[in-house]
Chains A and B, each alone.
Chain A
């Protein structure tokens, strides 16, 4: 099974900061990597799919990069509505898995 490891597990940042979250897979997953944002009490929503493709309707301050085993989600200028928990997920094999999540909090 493929394990997904996110870091950090939480971070504090200010509005306007550049934020980077990393996700590492236990084996190569090419670009079969999706990033989700989840707010309390809500279902997750897709931000980035195929490692770097921006989901329609998602602000361009979100970007994704990486391939193989190392991936990055970047928020170029953090906005108040971006305080949430972020998850990565692979779809390389039929046994899907998520990273442990990164909670982005207000500094």
Chain B
């Protein structure tokens, strides 16, 4: 069974940093592009970042470019999102998902940016 479990969310002050993790199991992690998507409270879905299976190709939404860094560890079946210079508008549930047609999602982890 495919499982994606996010962790690392929490309350952080504006300008602060946070690192999200996504633990993957039930599939060959190293064979798939992985995605971060976020959803602000009461709002729609926003693609944040993608990383190819071997980390050769990395893409970011303009809203996070230069502040967020996506990475992965295929040996540990783990996906990461390092978030810096956080803003109030980054407050959202962050989901990790598998592949560019997002058949599998985690349960999400809430990031709240507030003073």
Contact = CB atoms under 8 A, between A and B. Distances in A.
Contact residues of B: prevailing secondary structure: loop
Name the interface size band of chain B: 20 to 34
A91 B101 contact: yes
A98 B57 contact: no
Contacts, number: 48
A98 B95 contact: no
B44 A91 contact: no
A27 to B, nearest CB: 17
A36 B44 contact: no
A100 interface: yes
Given A43-B105, A44-B102, A100-B44, A95 B57 contact: no
Interface of B: 35, 37, 44-47, 50, 57, 59, 61-62, 95, 100-103, 105-108
Given A36-B102, A95-B59, A101-B44, 15 more contacts: A34-B101, A43-B95, A43-B107, A44-B105, A46-B102, A55-B103, A87-B44, A87-B45, A89-B45, A89-B102, A91-B100, A95-B47, A98-B44, A98-B47, A101-B45
Interface of A: 1, 34, 36, 38, 43-46, 49, 55, 87, 89, 91, 94-101
